Structure 1
Amino acid sequence: MMTSKATRRIHLLLAAVGGMAASMQTASAIEQVPREQDIIELRLGQRIQVDDGSCPTGQIKEILGATLTASGVTRTRSCVPRFGTKKK
Structure 2
Amino acid sequence: MPRRSVLFSPGDRPELLRKAPGAGADVLVFDLEDAVSPDRKAEARETVAAVLSEPDFDPDAEVAVRVNPGDAGRDDIAAVCTAHPPDALVVP
Higher relative contact order (CA 8 A, sep 6+): 2
Q: TM-score scaled to structure 2, two decimals?
A: 0.28
Name the structure where strand makes up a greater proportion of residues.
1
Higher Cα Rg, which structure: 1
